[in-house]
Amino acid sequence: MEQLEFLTEVQDLRKVWPHEALDFTPWLAKDENIAILGNEIGMEIAVDGTESAVGDFSVDIIATDIATGQKVIIENQLEDTNHDHLGKLITYAAGKDAQTIIWVVKHAREEHRAAIEWLNNHTDDDIGFFLCEIHLYKVGSSNPAVKFSVIEKPNDWIKSVKKNQQQTESQQFRLDYWTAFNDYAYANAQFARQFGKRKASNKMWMNLSIGSSVYDICLRAVKTENLLVVELYIRGDKDLYHQLFEKQNAIEQELGVTLDWRELPEKKASRIMLTRQVDFDNRSAWNAQFDWMMEMSLKFKKVFKKYL
């Protein structure tokens, strides 16, 4: 019988991160680490900056929710929660007009957990507060491993939109479709390595992050037209669209397809699209549809990243 090791918690977080601003915040801001926090709360987060000024103070991390484009702020505290940081959290949220506010702490005291719960109960649906503890664990003499635990979250923040009791037939189809896509696509190691998992929803689209809050790969299932779409979706950066359009021939040659280039001059966003006619009602064909979306998503990321 193999000898078993015991899991032990590292009590002093500052043995790993001696200084909160100089060590922990830069660590958390790295893509691979913010993804751990994002996976725990069910959000794909793109970091926009650290130590961002709010009056005479500065918020630790300012970021974007990839799925919605909404602003996220993160305040770190490698100790027990206190009134000072709670006040800062609200000040920063107001100063940055943030929709999602995340407080990462060593230990959440009950009075501050209750305060975050109260804020979630008394703010509108556009605002959400998360209180998360960070823990370090070791197995035997191993290096420490990180674990985030969500202590408080918005009341409506659950990983499935099945909470909506009155879904339309179209909404139910989209939820079923994206749930099946997730189950299929993320069983594929190559795809799972390239794209962080998004929660299934009843929306027409699913966004796949490729490392920026300005652009991502968007998958769309348009049931009314029996149309699948894989596109590069660019938010509010027409210069970037024009830069890519100048490389149209090279990009299309590398992809091996002809794309539909849509600047959308009357809108902030631009789209570079590839479409395919499908039969959504034939569920036995879904896996083939998923294969196509996965293949093209991987190609889009590989090719477009050269020019972004």
User: Could you tell me if 12 and 145 lie in one domain?
Assistant: yes
User: Could you tell me if 296 and 233 lie in one domain?
Assistant: yes
Structural domain containing residue 244: 161-304
- 242/216 Cα distance (integer angstroms): 16
Domain boundary among 96, 118, 152: 152
pLDDT above 90 covers a percentage of the chain that reads 60
Q: For 127, left (φ over 0), alpha (ψ -120 to 50), or beta?
A: beta
User: Could you tell me if 127 and 71 lie in one domain?
Assistant: yes
User: Could you tell me if 87 and 104 lie in one domain?
Assistant: yes
Q: Quick one: how far is CA 218 from the chain centroid?
A: 13
**What is the tally of structural domains in the chain?**
2
Q: Give 156's pLDDT tier (boundaries 50, 70, 90).
A: low
1 occurs within a structural domain: no
User: Could you tell me if 85 and 175 lie in one domain?
Assistant: no
User: Could you tell me if 132 and 191 lie in one domain?
Assistant: no
Q: Are 74 and 63 within 8 A, CB to CB?
A: yes
User: Could you tell me if 58 and 145 lie in one domain?
Assistant: yes
Residue-wise pLDDT tens digits, 160-217: 333 444 467 888 899 999 999 999 999 999 999 999 888 888 888 899 988 887 899 9
User: What CATH number should be reported for the domain holding residue 133?
Assistant: 3.40.1350.10
Residue-wise pLDDT tens digits, 58-68: 899 998 887 67
23 occurs within a structural domain: yes
User: Could you tell me if 24 and 139 lie in one domain?
Assistant: yes
User: Could you tell me if 108 and 185 lie in one domain?
Assistant: no
pLDDT above 50 for 275: yes
Residue of 61, 14, 9, 13 lying closest to 38 (CA atoms)? 61
55 occurs within a structural domain: yes
Domain boundary among 83, 118, 152: 152
Cβ neighbors of 308 (< 8 A, separation 6 or more) are: 210, 212, 215, 240, 244
291 occurs within a structural domain: yes
- 142/204 Cα distance (integer angstroms): 44
Q: Which whole-number Å values give the CA distances from 188 to 185, 277, 289, in the listed order?
A: 5, 24, 15
pTM: 0.57
Q: Are 81 and 94 within 8 A, CB to CB?
A: no
Comparing 128 with 291, which gets the higher pLDDT? 291
Domain boundary among 130, 152, 174: 152
User: Could you tell me if 128 and 218 lie in one domain?
Assistant: no
User: Could you tell me if 130 and 177 lie in one domain?
Assistant: no
User: Could you tell me if 175 and 146 lie in one domain?
Assistant: no
Alpha helices by DSSP H, listed for the chain, are: 25-29, 31-41, 83-96, 110-122, 169-185, 189-194, 238-245, 248-255, 286-304
